[in-house]
Amino acid sequence: MTVDFTLPPPDRLLVAPPRGEQIAVPLHILADVPLTGVDLVSEDGCPLPLLTTAEAADLSISGIASILAVLAVRARVDHLLDGEAIAREVGAIVGRDKTRRGEALGAADDPSTAFGAALASSTPLRALLRDLSHSTLTLVPLAYEPDRRRVVKIAWDWPFYWRRHADTRPTPYPLTPESERARRTGAVLAFLGWSDTPLAIGDLPFGWARSTHVELGAPADVELHSACLTLSQRDPATCACTDA
């Protein structure tokens, strides 16, 4: 994936860093699944570092909590929601400990709670929190140079275990005894290599991007007969999906 951007000028930032200072720039939101072969390079081909998942979570919590502190004052609930409480609720959603994630997400959507009241005026921030509840913000350290065009390329591998993921999804209609026998016969023939094996790859770890390039590499002893890609565009604010 290629991200083409220019950092905003100082007058568009709440707190502008000194020119040349290292800042963490968000590039992408990736699904929270194990990834391998992550490669990140700049426009001149030089490798770039990438913050770890734990570092990205800590910075996300700090940044979102700072914004929420301002929103809490505007919503006049700052006396009920101090900085420590804000960080605790945001951390329950974005952090690695998932024990209170559902409870915190429920509070974020409930304007009768202090946390929900602070978030009520910012649909984008609620959407970001919901996205980060099951995803990771990809952050790369870059020097703050607001007049420089940056082109950063990021690529990664997502392993798929071909022989363990036969399509076991339930059918949308009841199976008759004849169709069930046909299904089982097809599974046996596929196991013997005498027919095709349908495989369903789950949600791919994409985030929000103008375009995404996907390469599907099969093992040497696997022949891809046909494939299709189904796209569901989800609105994180409402969780509504539209198939394309």
List pLDDT tens digits, range 121-133.
888 888 889 888 8
57 belongs to a structural domain: yes
88 belongs to a structural domain: yes
Mean pLDDT of 137-145: 92
Burial of residue 169, with CB atoms counted within 10 A of its CB: 0-12 exposed, 13-18 middle, 19 or more buried = exposed
Q: Give the CA radius of gyration of the chain.
A: 23
Lowest mean pLDDT among 27-41, 94-108, 184-198: 184-198
Higher pLDDT residue, 180 or 66? 66
Give dist(CA 2, CA 151) in Å, integer: 7
User: What pLDDT, in 10s, does the model give residues 89-103?
Assistant: 999 999 877 789 999
- pLDDT band, residue 113 (cuts 50/70/90): very high
Number of domains in the chain: 1
Whether the per-residue pLDDT at 141 is higher than 90: the answer is yes
Whether the per-residue pLDDT at 209 is higher than 70: the answer is no
Burial of residue 15, with CB atoms counted within 10 A of its CB: 0-12 exposed, 13-18 middle, 19 or more buried = exposed
- E strand or H helix at 6: strand 2-6
Of the CA atoms within 13 Å of residue 64, those in its CB half-sphere come to: 34
Q: Which of 165, 224, 170, 230 is nearest to 200 (CA)?
A: 165
172 belongs to a structural domain: no
Lowest mean pLDDT among 36-45, 83-92, 196-205: 196-205
197 belongs to a structural domain: no
The tokens describing 77, both together, are 């609930």
Domain around 89: 2-156
102 belongs to a structural domain: yes
- pLDDT band, residue 163 (cuts 50/70/90): low
241 belongs to a structural domain: no
Could you give the dihedral angle defined by the CA atoms of residues 68, 72, 78 and 81, in that order, rounded to the nearest 10 degrees? -50
Average per-residue pLDDT in the chain?
Answer: 80
Give dist(CA 72, CA 114) in Å, integer: 8
